[in-house]
Amino acid sequence: MRRVLAIRDARVFLFGWTLSQFGDWAMFYALAIWAKDLTHSNSAAGLVFFALALPGLFAPLAGLIVDRLPRRKVMIWTYTAEAVALLSLLFVHDRGDIWILYLVTAFYGAAGNFAGSARSAFMTIIIPRELLGDANGMFQTTREGLRLIAPLTGAAIYAAAGGHAVALLDSASFVAVVGTLLLIRTPEPRFEREEAHFLGEVAAGARHIARTIALRQLIIASSIAFLVVGFSETTIFAALQYGLHRSTSFFGVIGSAQGVGAIAGGVFAGKLIRRIGDVNLVGLGMICFALGDATFVSSSLPLVLVGVAVAGAGVAWFIVGAITAVQLRTPPRLQGRASSAADVAINVPQTISIAVGAALITLVDYRVLVVAAAVLIGACGVYLATRRFAAAPTDDGSPVGATPEAAATTRSPSEELPSPLLPSASPAPDPPASGTTAARAPDRAASDPT
């Protein structure tokens, strides 16, 4: 992590992004609690997460736009729009205004498609490839670690001053991250359009994933697991009410417990990627999430809190492993589209599972849904944890975390990985005359010692 923090723009980006994430976590929990209080319905609270995930269906379009435009500018425009949109929540006062809450939540999710793809791609520009696992682990540790304070802070502000105050806080956090993005100095590469047709360009990221064995198996297993992951967005409220006999405000405590596990998970994520590989880390994360989620069937508060912490570590490992796998196994010109294709492959089943979970919770005991989800997610995790793939290359062409002997071996032809890319911090060649390679920006030594 020290090597990542030695990069000036990575430090600036992390600081601004941390402010934004604090506001996000406070707002996410407040939105669900707000919907529950307005409607007195567990399903209505769960549908907040459905509205948040639904725009993920259009993620490939966001990825195309991200790959066509400067990634930093995409983030600046997106975060500015979110800061303005959140002010619409000031008009929510009673049950009749619930549609405003859902509409703003959906916009929040749509903006997240652009910001998420741009952020992932931008990190490959400001951070060397061999440090991406550590950087993703650090960012994930920060993101999830904020659950220790942000949910409790958001719940406290909500209880004391209402949802309007939380919305203002989150809006201000977006303004702050825009300010830090304006301070970043690293020039961005320019990429020439390669596909002749619009649909071909949109689908380029998905085709790359389908042709790369490690990414294909990772995404397929994740898609299957996420067919039931969304159940937890609704079952948690039922577990609080019927299992633990707590109020909806206790949801913030659950989130903070998950943050404890996520901190530990994120801290060790980079080391685990070097030791077991990115895809295997995703599998291990699924297994931990399944075990932690299974504790929702218990009425023991200590057991549930421990389980949520274990699930938090699993979430961190899943996200870090998946993001790093896509970044390392994808050429620069496809970063946005590959990231978006992976997102939509996961968001579609997750969106379906949230809606199905919200409906099933009214028909069957929530514990049935908890057990079903844990079994399927655990099985997918075991599958990925037992796969063996060649490691992704670093800037110098050696596999991430491989020994010198392993780095010198020839890659298996069954594992299709992109050829070694230009170093993240190296001077750029002149723009190519045509096609498919990136025209790197001029010397970046001043800004890069994401």
Please name the helix (run of DSSP H) or strand (run of DSSP E) that holds residue 438, with its range, or none.
strand 438-439
69, with CB counted inside 10 A (0-12, 13-18, 19+), is: middle
CA distances from 135 to 24, 127, 270 (A): 20, 8, 8
Query: At 439, phi and psi to the nearest 5?
Result: -90, 105
Query: For residue 384, what pLDDT is reported?
Result: 94
Q: How many CB atoms lie within 10 A of CB 305?
A: 19
Give counts: helices (H), strands (E), the chain: 19, 2
pLDDT in tens, 59-70: 777 787 888 888
Mean pLDDT of 346-357: 84
pLDDT at 114 over 50: yes
Q: How confident is the model at residue 390 (pLDDT cuts 50, 70, 90)?
A: low
Where do the DSSP E strands lie in 49-196? 190-191
At CA 118, angle to CA 114 and CA 123, rounded to 5? 155
User: H or E element: which one contains 439?
Assistant: strand 438-439
pLDDT of residue 445: 31
Topology adopted by domain 2-188+201-419: Growth Hormone; Chain: A; (1.20.1250)
Buried b (16+ CB within 10 A) or exposed e, 208-224: bbeebbbbebbbbbbbe
Cβ(279)–Cβ(384) under 8 Å? yes
Q: Give the pLDDT confidence score for residue 87 in this predicted structure.
A: 93
Per-residue confidence (pLDDT) for residue 127, from 0 to 100: 86
